[in-house]
């Protein structure tokens, strides 16, 4: 699978394309940032982000786009601007017909580093380890986009395991286990 991960921002939007199967191995295809000019009006900056993401989607044809959700900053204005950037990323993916997966910053950190409160350095270290790189991708916004893509791929392994464990065609994993003096028969008996 090829996943495009995006860490949206109005000044810098990081992205990363990662190829792999849910259980690995993973390979970095490309990563980078879309920088906008601070002196330009917000609509022009949003257009640049939209066109940049649309170009990456068109060039690489990812099977899914994973986008980091809005974090709640103390500055309401920052949160709203981030929401705008996220919106144009979602629009670019939707118009291209690519499935979209959304992740909170804490779920990305937990998925990659094992803790929802992991530091940026811990996440970058694990991104480098998972991709078998000497160092994390740079700049850090690009590494964040790569982390979101990896999180999406790794979540696929969890979804697959859940489907396998509860496949209606197979006996439930707890079938036949003694509970409070009774035996639960396997389904279909």
Task: Please indicate, yes or no, if residue 161 is contained in any of the structural domains.
Answer: yes
Indicate the Cα dihedral angle 96, 102, 103, 108, nearest 10°: -20
pLDDT average, residue stretch 117-121? 92
73 belongs to a structural domain: yes
Q: Is the pLDDT of residue 165 over 70?
A: no
Q: Are 82 and 12 in contact (CB under 8 A)?
A: no
Domain that holds residue 121: 2-183
Catalytic residue among 7, 63, 155, 167: 7
Q: Which of 141, 144, 155, 167 is catalytic?
A: 141
Q: What is the pLDDT of residue 49?
A: 98
pLDDT of res. 181 = 47
Does a structural domain hold residue 189? no
pTM above 0.75, yes or no: yes
Total domains in the fold of the chain: 1
167 is an active site residue:
no
The CATH number for 55's domain is 3.30.420.10
- In a domain, residue 60? The reply is yes
Per residue in 44-54, pLDDT (tens digit) is: 999 999 999 99
Catalytic residue among 21, 30, 51, 68: 68
Q: DSSP assignment, residue 130?
A: H
In the residue annotation, 7 being an active-site residue is answered as yes
Is 69 part of the annotated catalytic residue set?
A: no
Q: What is the pLDDT of residues 69-112, one digit of tens each?
A: 876 667 777 788 889 999 999 999 999 999 999 999 999 999 99
Q: Residue 85, Cα to own-chain centre: how many angstroms?
A: 16
């Amino acid at each position: 699978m090829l996943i495009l991960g995006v860490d949206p921002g109005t000044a810098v939007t990081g992205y990363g394309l990662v190829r792999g199967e849910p259980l690995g191995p993973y390979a970095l295809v490309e990563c980078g940032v879309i920088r906008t000019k601070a002196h330009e009006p917000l609509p022009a900056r949003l257009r640049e982000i939209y066109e940049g993401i649309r170009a990456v989607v068109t060039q690489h044809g990812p099977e899914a786009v994973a986008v980091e959700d809005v974090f709640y900053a103390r500055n309401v204005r920052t949160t709203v601007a981030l929401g705008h950037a996220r919106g144009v990323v979602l629009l670019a993916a939707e118009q291209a017909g690519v499935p979209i997966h959304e992740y909170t910053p804490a779920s990305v950190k937990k998925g990659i580093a094992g803790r929802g409160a992991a530091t940026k350095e811990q996440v970058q270290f694990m991104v480098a380890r998972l991709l078998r790189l000497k160092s994390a991708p740079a700049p850090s916004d690009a590494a964040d986009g790569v982390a979101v893509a990896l999180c999406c791929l790794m979540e696929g392994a969890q979804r697959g395991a859940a489907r396998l464990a509860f496949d209606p065609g197979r006996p439930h994993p707890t079938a036949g286990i003694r509970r409070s003096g009774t035996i639960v028969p396997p389904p279909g008996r």
